[in-house]
């Protein structure tokens, strides 16, 4: 999880370690915190391990108000990277990497960021 604290045009992101939906799956976000100037682009790293072939990877954010907000998701079988507003992902299935890019970062991007895994339903 990343925390983004935007003060005086600065975004700060801090990290926790969520896990996937079962013991065999694991999601890791290696950066404890990231700072970025307002209007810059920031990339948040997420790696995962799974033996599943069909799964979803999702990014959420939790602003200081406490609500958890879905940002963007990617299905494992899709080759084109997902985009949503100023959020985009770089999904590399072979490398098990799922990076979130936030372009033109703004004060409302100040939040805790979560990368999550959802296995086959």
- Please list, residue by residue across 52-61, b when 16 or more beta carbons sit within 10 angstroms of its beta carbon and e when fewer do: eeebbbbbbb
10 by DSSP, 3-state: which? strand
Please state the pTM of the whole predicted model.
Answer: 0.77
CATH topology (fold) of 2-118: Immunoglobulin-like (2.60.40)
State both tokens at 108.
């409302």
Residues of the chain with pLDDT under 50: 1-24
Q: What is the pLDDT of residues 39-74, one digit of tens each?
A: 889 999 999 998 888 899 999 998 889 899 999 999
Q: What's the gap between Cα 26 and its chain centre? A: 14
pLDDT at 20: 41
Instruction: Tell me how far apart the alpha carbons of residues 3 and 62 are, in angstroms, rounded to a whole number.
Output: 8
| Domain edges within the chain | 2-118
Instruction: State the pLDDT at residue 121.
Output: 63
Contact 60, 67 (CB under 8 A): no
């Amino acid at each position: 999880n990343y925390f983004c604290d935007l003060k005086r045009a600065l975004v700060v992101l801090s990290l926790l370690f969520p896990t996937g939906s079962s013991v065999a799956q694991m999601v890791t976000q290696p950066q404890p915190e990231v700072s970025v100037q307002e209007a810059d682009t920031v990339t948040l790293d997420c790696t995962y391990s799974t033996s599943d072939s069909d799964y979803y990877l999702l990014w959420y954010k939790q602003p200081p108000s406490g609500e958890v907000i879905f940002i963007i998701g990617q299905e494992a079988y899709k080759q084109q990277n997902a985009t949503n507003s100023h959020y985009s992902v770089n999904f590399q299935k072979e490398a098990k990497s799922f990076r979130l890019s936030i372009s033109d970062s703004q004060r409302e991007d100040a939040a805790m960021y979560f990368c999550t895994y959802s296995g086959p339903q």
